[in-house]
Amino acid sequence: MPSPSTHVRRRTVAIAVAALAGTASVGLPSAAAHPSKHVRPVAAHSRYLALGDSISFGYRESNSNPAPDFSKPKQFVGFPEDVAKNLGLRLTNAACPGETTVSFINATKQSNGCENSYQPGTGMVAGGYRTAHPLHTKYKSATQSQLQFAKAFLKKYPKTSLVTLMIGANDGFLCLAKTTDQCQGPGEFAKVQAQITKHVKRILKGLRGKAHYKGQLVIVSYYATDYTDFYSTYESQGLNKALTDAAKGFHATIADGYGQFEKAAMQANGNTCTAQLLTALTGPDEGTCGVHPSLTGQALLAQAVEQAIKR
């Protein structure tokens, strides 16, 4: 995922990275808060498929400390790796940095750095993370989307017991990139919400209907970088509602990543950077944080997933 400037990064979180606030924390509908009593338990040694964007991937900015080697995917440890280790699961992490809800469905559509990127005045630019660097798992082809990969995987391994999905933040990043008012114009934010709901419904329909997946399905909510900031919390509630609305009817559980970060950030008066929950940056950005979780932050997201599932 392209790393925005420090100024834009802070505003971006209000729109995108903090998008999917935990329902329990912000008073949103909680119908999908707990797994159905009829779903299979997540048992040790069963398969676990992780889907999503850079956070699920475990991505760290190029100027984060320690500096990552993008040629070695094992260096990137996200919450799926923590969940798999803690529960003894056989993980396949198919996440891709920069994935949007639409590129998740169709790899030829606009992503924010996974299959392609966006440049103002130019539009979609070919080439992305999948072209330049290896993912945690190999796709069948350069045009196979993450949804197509997931459906093929679940048909091949029908006894998979857990699927996690964290997607939608990059839809907000693109809104920032495509607008001159940082996605605050009339109806712009509402369009992002509607887009996320529409596409995530299609994703969940593909997993449940086309792939006939019967196991536990968990949507992981995003966090805020500053829980004292009005825009971060207000807009995260709106995007979280888009995810919650999409989850209805698909027996999907919401893992409260937002709430986990909020509690941990209390030690730093609500600032997740000061609480060391985000990647620490170096060079010109020394003393600031990226938008991705630190290892501690990833562990908190893993905890949210583990609390959301039935074992």
pLDDT for the residue 37: 60
Q: What is the CATH number of the domain that holds 178?
A: 3.40.50.1110
Q: How far is CA 305 from the centre of its chain?
A: 13
Closest by Cα among 87, 88, 90, 110 to 100:
110
Q: With cut-offs at 50, 70 and 90, classify the pLDDT of residue 273.
A: very high
When mean pLDDT is compared across 176-185, 199-208, 265-274, the lowest value belongs to 176-185
In total, the chain counts a number of residues equal to 311
Q: What is the dihedral of CA 212, 198, 42, 294, to 10 degrees?
A: 140
Calculate mean pLDDT across residues 147-157: 98
Q: With cut-offs at 50, 70 and 90, classify the pLDDT of residue 151.
A: very high
pLDDT for the residue 234: 74
Cβ distance 135 to 96 under 8 Å? yes
In a domain, 244, yes or no: yes
Which is higher by pLDDT, 156 or 311?
156
In a domain, 35, yes or no: yes
In a domain, 114, yes or no: yes
pLDDT for the residue 77: 97
Calculate mean pLDDT across residues 165-174: 92
pLDDT digits (tens, 9 = 90+) for 106-123: 999 999 999 999 999 999
pLDDT digits (tens, 9 = 90+) for 275-305: 999 999 999 999 999 999 999 999 999 999 9
Dist CA 199 CA 105 (whole Å): 8
Percent of the chain with pLDDT over 70: 88
Exposure string for 260-275, b = 16+ CB within 10 A, e = fewer: bbbebbeeeebbbbeb
In a domain, 192, yes or no: yes
In a domain, 1, yes or no: no
pLDDT for the residue 311: 86
Q: Which residue has the tokens 């750095």?
A: 113
In a domain, 59, yes or no: yes
pLDDT for the residue 38: 66
Number of Cβ within 10 Å of residue 29's Cβ equals 14
pLDDT for the residue 1: 36
3-class state of residue 158 by DSSP: coil
For 91, the domain range is: 6-308
- Across the chain, how many H-helices and E-strands are there? 12, 9
**Total domains present in the chain:** 1
Between the alpha carbon of residue 95 and those of residues 23, 46, 219, 267, the distances in Å are 24, 19, 13, 31
Dist CA 142 CA 285 (whole Å): 34
Q: With cut-offs at 50, 70 and 90, classify the pLDDT of residue 34.
A: low
Q: Is the pLDDT of residue 52 over 50?
A: yes
Percent of the chain with pLDDT over 90: 74
pLDDT for the residue 183: 86
Closest by Cα among 33, 44, 75, 39 to 58:
75
pLDDT digits (tens, 9 = 90+) for 177-187: 999 888 888 89
In a domain, 82, yes or no: yes
Q: Is the pLDDT of residue 28 over 50?
A: no
In a domain, 129, yes or no: yes
Calculate mean pLDDT across residues 198-206: 98
Q: Which two tokens stand for residue 254?
A: 């919401």
The structure's pTM equals 0.90
Cβ distance 94 to 136 under 8 Å? yes
What is the overall mean pLDDT for the chain?
88
Calculate mean pLDDT across residues 15-25: 34
pLDDT digits (tens, 9 = 90+) for 74-85: 999 999 999 999
